[in-house]
Amino acid sequence: MAYGFLDEAGDAGIGPRSSSALVVAVVVTSAPQVLRREVKKVRTRLGKKKLQIPEFKASQSAPEWNRKRLERLAKLDIEVVVVAAEKPVHFLASEPEALYRSLGARAVEECLRRFPKLTLRVDKRHTNPALRTSYDQALRNAVEQPGRTFLIEHADSAQDPALQQADLVAWAFLQKYTRRDESFAVLIQERVVTEIVVRE
């Protein structure tokens, strides 16, 4: 059984403050505790005043700190799937949530090609039960072939450090697609097995 951790960076909005891309990243491993221990190791390097930070959010961390975390993450036995959409193509979508569902389903399909038995943990973004059910169904639709086992779990990233690793990877690729800054993504690139950019 493989274990995947999915998070997004960017948003599906169309306003002037919205990001120009939405990125979904999945970090896959056979040993999720390794991901969690790595976050705990990083936490011990912080000063006492920062030890109580509930979670590491890449968007709220110093760039150099993110670089160090990505370098350490790249040394672990993981595989990474990235699916991104450059939103100018999608900005007329009547339902922004449809873009989240579409990219999530594409990422799951790519994961299942390599790992037909997958437990996926998703950052609990939805508090609305209907939206969560719709999102789950979109992901389950990726399970089209017999012999696949796919389980979905929702969790708070503040409670599961492994989800914080997925947040870091998604953030790194968001910099690549929105700012044309590849210096973060390249640090984890050797672990990326699939990278898809939706432009049409």
90 pLDDT exceeds 80? no
DSSP string, 149-160: EEEEEEE-TTT-
Domain span at residue 65? 2-198
Contact 163, 12 (CB under 8 A): no
What CATH number is associated with residue 97?
A: 3.30.420.10
Closest CA to 107 of 189, 177, 20, 25: 25
Q: How many helices (DSSP H) and strands (DSSP E) are in the chain?
A: 6, 6
Output the pLDDT for position 29.
Answer: 98
Q: Which two tokens stand for residue 16?
A: 């002037």
Instruction: Kindly report, residue by residue over 162-183, the tens digit of the pLDDT.
Output: 999 999 999 999 999 999 999 9
CA 61 to chain centre: 17
Contact 73, 38 (CB under 8 A): yes
Maximum C-alpha span of the chain: 51
Strands lying side by side in the sheet with 149-155: 149-155, 117-123, 2-10, 21-29, 79-86, 192-198
Residues whose CB is less than 8 angstroms from the CB of residue 195 and which lie 6 or more positions away in sequence, other chains included: 81, 82, 84, 173
How buried is 95 (Cβ within 10 angstroms: 0-12 exposed, 13-18 middle, 19+ buried)? exposed
Number of domains in the chain: 1
Instruction: Kindly report, residue by residue over 27-65, the tens digit of the pLDDT.
Output: 999 999 999 999 988 877 776 655 567 788 999 999 999
* Of 129 and 3, the one with more pLDDT: 3
pTM for this entry: 0.92
Mean of per-residue pLDDT scores for the chain:
89
